Structure 1
């Protein structure tokens, strides 16, 4: 799409928003329900698109994409009316007699830029929140997942008038053209490098942003952990979607006393969950494209590989792989992996683990496997991270009652459920002052008796 077409679409959406059409709560709920119905009607096509783009099985597509998107929509359909209400708050005595309240209001025209790794869910989830809050939306899905982007565009075209919600496909040219425009809010999910660009472009118009980025999310395993269960849950979280998950455990930081036990447990779990030949497993996906496939291959050190390491260039597949004796100087520790490669590092005591984690950029997620309450508390208190789990991986992402987002280098802002509604809403603080009485102490000429009253009210 050309820049002029994008500008014309933006003008139409702004005019539509200014007409007040999106302010009606009933319209928001009807729109969410129509989107949900359209997704249900196209579920087979969505799953087919995800299989073509990422090799996802129908089970994984529903569990991690379609089902989560439907869950967010259902939650918003049930709660939007309550979230949109004015909330009365206490008025200080000095403002007698008044009614003070907070009114959630949509920002206006919103840009949502979504990634390729969970291309459906990470497009529909923020869209549901933005619609519930009363905004118009321009969606820009990733060019790296073209089949899913195409079905998203079809769904949006069927469910919405373009002045309300529209989907713009394409690549870097379209991204650049969009970021040159003035939006009222930008929601971006993707890499840290592109996040820098989004924030820089948004600053031109002082546009507020939410950035959902990533990082090298650590997974701590201490000497009190239930190793077999830890291995089971780590293997699930690490190799889901072939490791192409922003909150996947990027590396294990393991107490040196249990490292060998953990490695053997991880190998058993990989074999149990994916079979002895994962590349022949119909439920095991693929790397998104050749660029990322070759990048991952360049991170693999054969001498430090203790399990896996097989690749198939034709199918863009890499087996679940484990590396031992890794240090921070290895290539695999210089960037977010975003693939099925699991390096293992060790520590002597929990304080050393904390120092290691805090000496690196803050991550989107952190996981700890432990039965030691003292260790768990230390990690919770002293480590900065977006969110995480105790004795599990990645499941915090799927909880609508909690916000999901990063901190520091891993992003800013959050969404999901009520937090998502708030993200796409400006909260107007309003005082409704009554006219039948007017306290005199704030007006000149000031008098000593009024000073006493002011000191009484304001203390």
Structure 2
């Protein structure tokens, strides 16, 4: 076996688990300091997600590490083949500030399970959480944490890692990919974009509004996979705005600034950026507070539609379903599309491309160990969570074995006599016939089930 044994991998995962348990309260305090994240939200969206990833890896590691037998063509016999998993080597994880614990440690789980060593570069914009993450190496051998800002990140990108896992914005993602190309280092890019939501009259407006409001305004809207804007039939715009505002009041009160469950904007720069998109949003600069703001946008030329909002602003735009689909198709492929409409789901799934589709729900795909999480096109490349994380950090090495005797390969090696030529043609016909029969059998079996 290349890389650490299953015992060592388990010990490292259990060490990470112990780190989270030992520092449970301190982590929550750090998240509150950085983002005013409530203890419940810290458990739900940060600590709990990582613990679930660890539990999934510990449960399935035996199976994941087992070599996989492969089928070979009849003409190869006698022979055998398998896929043998091996670690990539040393990986770099560059994590963002919006979910500073989860987005540093969830990919780390996959890296450790796959047998790699790892360097974590947490965001300097969430300093309290970054400081706590610097304790991870005391619990997990083979892990290092580098604190600092742009200078330190730039220096790391010059190093020869075997894989780079980056979560953040598209602009920095391009810089990471360009740096990785110099060493031919493969990358996973978890980016973002403007994830659209569709809502129509075929669903219960109140229930849909509550799910949309929660997914949008959790973490004060600073979620890469949050609903970025909402489209609905023009006749529904006012009712949709009112219903989502009602849902906001039900969850965070008439004045969310007073709620212990509502977060804050990460820093002054992002505060100013959001106010530039919506100057009349209720806000408090001293508290880095921007209220959940749901508003009717006249059309797609509104300032808030020019970039990923990444904050608690939700424009609602009136358009018909066909126009909505064409609008989504005309832009970069989003990280997610959310659909609240009985017939609309089929159209969005079949006619648009995105990292994921949520029907009747938003955000949940980002925290499930059984669902690969990742983008497509401008919203990212590669996926992780659960088995997908292990796949990302593993090389599946083909191993083929064939005995020297009987030496059947002589029948297809030069010099080519008439007999050998006939054998080669016969083998090609047999393989083609066998493949057709196998495909037909699988199709009939599938149709029968």
- Tell me the TM-score normalised to structure 1 length: 0.91
SS of corresponding position for 1:160:
coil
Which of 80, 95, 101 pairs up with 2:61? 80
Q: Could you list the runs of 5+ residues in structure 1 that have no partner in the other structure?
A: 1-19, 303-308
SS of corresponding position for 2:72:
coil
CA distance in 1, matches of 2:126, 2:29: 12
Q: Is the contact between residue 2 and residue 86 of structure 2 (CA under 8 Å) also seen in structure 1?
A: no
Change (3 A) 1:204 1:111: same
1:207 corresponds to 2:185: yes
- Matched with 1:410 is 379
1:28 corresponds to 2:9: yes
- Matched with 1:5 is none
- Matched with 1:94 is 75
Which of 120, 126, 131 pairs up with 1:145? 126
- Matched with 2:237 is 259
Residue 331 of structure 1, CA deviation: 1.4
CA distance in 2, matches of 1:275, 1:399: 29
CA distance in 2, matches of 1:101, 1:448: 34
Residue 157 of structure 1, CA deviation: 2.5
CA distance in 1, matches of 2:241, 2:216: 14
1:345 corresponds to 2:317: yes
CA distance in 1, matches of 2:332, 2:298: 19
After superposition, give the CA deviation of every residue in 1:82-104 in whole Å (9 maximum; x if it has no partner): 11111001111111111111111
1:288 corresponds to 2:258: no
After superposition, give the CA deviation of every residue in 1:61-84 in whole Å (9 maximum; x if it has no partner): 000000000000111111112111
- Matched with 1:443 is 413
Residue 21 of structure 1, CA deviation: 8.3
1:42 corresponds to 2:23: yes
Residue 324 of structure 1, CA deviation: 0.6
- Matched with 2:364 is 395
Q: Is the contact between residue 226 and residue 370 of structure 1 (CA under 8 Å) also seen in structure 2?
A: no
Write out the 4+ residue segments of structure 1 that deviate beyond 4 Å after TM superposition: none
CA distance in 2, matches of 1:114, 1:274: 29
CA distance in 2, matches of 1:428, 1:328: 48
CA distance in 2, matches of 1:325, 1:422: 42
CA distance in 2, matches of 1:432, 1:404: 36
1:354 corresponds to 2:325: yes
Residue 264 of structure 1, CA deviation: 1.6
SS of corresponding position for 2:56:
helix
Which of 134, 138, 146 pairs up with 1:158? 138
- For 1:191-340, list aligned pairs within 5 A: 191-302=169-280, 309-340=281-312
SS of corresponding position for 1:363:
coil
Q: Is the contact between residue 223 and residue 257 of structure 1 (CA under 8 Å) also seen in structure 2?
A: no
CA distance in 1, matches of 2:130, 2:152: 14
Q: Is the contact between residue 93 and residue 121 of structure 2 (CA under 8 Å) also seen in structure 1?
A: yes
Q: Is the contact between residue 388 and residue 394 of structure 1 (CA under 8 Å) also seen in structure 2?
A: no
SS of corresponding position for 2:159:
coil
Residue 248 of structure 1, CA deviation: 0.2
Q: Is the contact between residue 326 and residue 343 of structure 1 (CA under 8 Å) also seen in structure 2?
A: no
Residue 282 of structure 1, CA deviation: 1.4
Residue 351 of structure 1, CA deviation: 1.6
After superposition, give the CA deviation of every residue in 1:358-414 in whole Å (9 maximum; x if it has no partner): 111111111000122xx2111101111101310111001111111100000000000
After superposition, give the CA deviation of every residue in 1:271-295 in whole Å (9 maximum; x if it has no partner): 1111011101111110001110111
CA distance in 1, matches of 2:35, 2:298: 29
Which moved further from structure 2: 63-72 or 382-391?
382-391
Q: Is the contact between residue 123 and residue 141 of structure 1 (CA under 8 Å) also seen in structure 2?
A: yes
CA distance in 1, matches of 2:285, 2:393: 42
After superposition, give the CA deviation of every residue in 1:394-440 in whole Å (9 maximum; x if it has no partner): 00111111110000000000001111100001111121112331112
Residue 301 of structure 1, CA deviation: 4.7
After superposition, give the CA deviation of every residue in 1:186-238 in whole Å (9 maximum; x if it has no partner): 00000000000000000111110000000000001123122111101000000
SS of corresponding position for 1:414:
coil
Which moved further from structure 2: 317-326 or 70-79?
317-326
Residue 317 of structure 1, CA deviation: 0.7
After superposition, give the CA deviation of every residue in 1:16-66 in whole Å (9 maximum; x if it has no partner): xxxx88431211111101110121111000000000000011000000000
Residue 346 of structure 1, CA deviation: 1.5
- Tell me the TM-score normalised to structure 2 length: 0.93
